[in-house]
Structure 1
Amino acid sequence: MEKIIYTLWRNPSDSLDAFSQRLRGGVAEQLFTLGGRGLQVNLADADVAPAAGLRQENNRPLADAVVSIWVDSANAQSRRPLDEVLAATSSRLAAYLVCESVAIRNTRFPAHPGQRTHGFSQIAFLSCPPRLTRDAWLDTWRNYHTQVAIDTQDNFLYVQNLVVRALTHGAAPLDAIVEEAFPPAAMTDPMAFFDAVGDEEKFQKNLAAMMESCNRFIDFDKIDVLPTSQYVLKTATAG
């Protein structure tokens, strides 16, 4: 089974609500019919408006939605019907084949099919800085930073998607797409984000450790970060 991540931009004539309803309704049903074994929709909607201060937009405009689909094969012939369904409901899309690593599985606020997951999901789009080799970047991110991110933040879901390759022409070059879910308070309270509510010393310590680690493998003038609402419409199954 393979995982495809699509980034989607809505048509200007569409409202966010209409776009959301369509992706989670008729579009989802079509994707299931076409063989999607798992489906997750992330939307930059009104529910995450309080998290606007967490957006980082270096490559404009940011996508309005991120759709993750688990399929038997992401080869062009097998994938084409999925591309066509998603292209018909958006003004622009890009697709990536990814290798998924789940550093934290969401057992704290389990997702219920079709319902909005608790809190919010922050999606970061990463590129390997030219100052690092890909092997050094990957080692720093996966074998060092992972534990720092777990230890310093109140994240209850942490998924690291290593981009294997872009699947669509014109897709922005990316090396990773990261998903992290946080409680609602973290949208507006940095101390909640860094798991240090009411503890200034712990907050400063966690913030410093996180920034030091990020600076080792991220160029902050290249990263994009999109706060979203997460909807798990179907949990991926192999059978």
Structure 2
Amino acid sequence: MGDFTRRFEVRIKARPTLIFGETLSVQKLFYLLFDSAEADGTKLREALCGVAVPAMREAGAMEITVFGADADVAEGSPIRQVDPPIRAMVSFWLEDAGDRGSAEAALAGHVQGLAGYLVCESRPMVHEMPKGERTPGMKQISCITKRADLSQEEYIRIWHGDHRQVAIDTQSTFGYVRNEIFRALTPGAPDRWDAFVEESFPMGALTDQEIFYDAKTHEEYETNFKIMMDSCGRFLDHSAIEVTFFSEYYMG
């Protein structure tokens, strides 16, 4: 999947607080946090932002983003197959993933379990994220798996190629981040997925499929839905998919 370090440069529009003065080699880590379906998602998100994030910063974590399945997105209908379910996700950057121990421990104390991965990030559609506040809209994150009959090259060609425009044309997406899994970091981390896909939508898309699929009529919704599902079917195995709705908090 290529070079899994990233050469950071100052990109004022995308990351207004990301100023290192010079380029810096870092790696992106992505954590799934598992807890009871009955656990209070808002309290978990508040604990992650208020307690875990400061400890992670002390441990060297940068560009921390917390995704919480809190009260603001409770009306959504996630696709859950793992037990206990995913109740939050956290992404951050480190100069070396091997130094993740303290940051990982800061997360582990708040949930029943976690799974960490080293990922390669790409951003086909960049969205604004106010630091320390809830990002407008809602975030859908899908844990996806490539079709077993496809080569890695063909999978990437379809996903990064024409499917990119299909997703943009048929949905009300205003933010789109790919996180391709390079390797698992934690013992026992599920190996059923190949990537985590972050998509930002208007809040109304949480409960209205016509808003989700950027449709003004029911007929347009049906058309866009079919186009999107047909395109996904070309490269994804949906048997292992996990889809969760979140509030996004970019903590910097």
Give the TM-score of the pair, scaled to structure 1: 0.89
Q: Which residue number corresponds to residue 150 of structure 1? A: 168
Q: 2:238 aligns with which of 212, 220, 224?
A: 220
Q: Which residue number corresponds to residue 105 of structure 1? A: 126
Q: Which residue number corresponds to residue 61 of structure 1? A: 84
Equivalent-residue separation in structure 2 for 1:212 and 1:61 (angstroms): 30
Which structure's relative contact order is higher, taking Cα pairs within 8 Å and 6+ residues apart? Answer: 1
Q: Which residue number corresponds to residue 68 of structure 2? A: 43
Equivalent-residue separation in structure 1 for 2:242 and 2:46 (angstroms): 25
Which of the pair is proportionally richer in helix?
Answer: 1
Amino acid at match of 1:84: A
Deviation at 1:57, TM superposition (A): 1.8
Secondary structure of the residue aligned to 2:147 is: coil
Deviation at 1:48, TM superposition (A): 0.5
Q: Is the CA contact 1:58–1:221 (under 8 Å) kept in the aligned structure 2? A: no
Identity %: 36
Instruction: Establish whether residue 8 from structure 1 lines up as the match of residue 37 from structure 2.
Output: no
Q: Which residue number corresponds to residue 102 of structure 2? A: 81
Q: Which residue number corresponds to residue 144 of structure 2? A: 126
Equivalent-residue separation in structure 2 for 1:42 and 1:12 (angstroms): 16
CA RMSD of aligned residues (A): 1.6
- Name structure 1 gaps, 5 residues minimum: 235-239
Amino acid at match of 2:64: L
Question: How many residues matched?
Answer: 226
Deviations 1:145-189 (A, max 9, x none): 111101111101000111111111100112100000100111111
Deviation at 1:13, TM superposition (A): 9.0
Q: Is the CA contact 1:62–1:226 (under 8 Å) kept in the aligned structure 2? A: no
Change (3 A) 1:136 1:13: closer
Amino acid at match of 2:41: L
Give the TM-score of the pair, scaled to structure 2: 0.85
Q: Which residue number corresponds to residue 72 of structure 1? A: 95
- Name structure 2 gaps, 5 residues minimum: 1-25
Amino acid at match of 1:65: A
Q: Which residue number corresponds to residue 59 of structure 2? A: 34
Query: What does residue range 181-192 of structure 1 map to in structure 2 within 5 Å?
Result: 181-192=200-211
Q: Is the CA contact 2:45–2:67 (under 8 Å) kept in the aligned structure 1? A: no
Deviation at 1:71, TM superposition (A): 1.3
Deviations 1:56-105 (A, max 9, x none): 12333321100001111112xx1111122212222101000010000100
Change (3 A) 1:62 1:138: farther
Q: Is the CA contact 1:42–1:229 (under 8 Å) kept in the aligned structure 2? A: yes
Amino acid at match of 1:139: R
Instruction: Establish whether residue 23 from structure 1 lines up as the match of residue 48 from structure 2.
Output: yes
Indicate the larger mover: 126-135 or 177-186. 126-135
Change (3 A) 1:51 1:134: same
Amino acid at match of 2:87: D
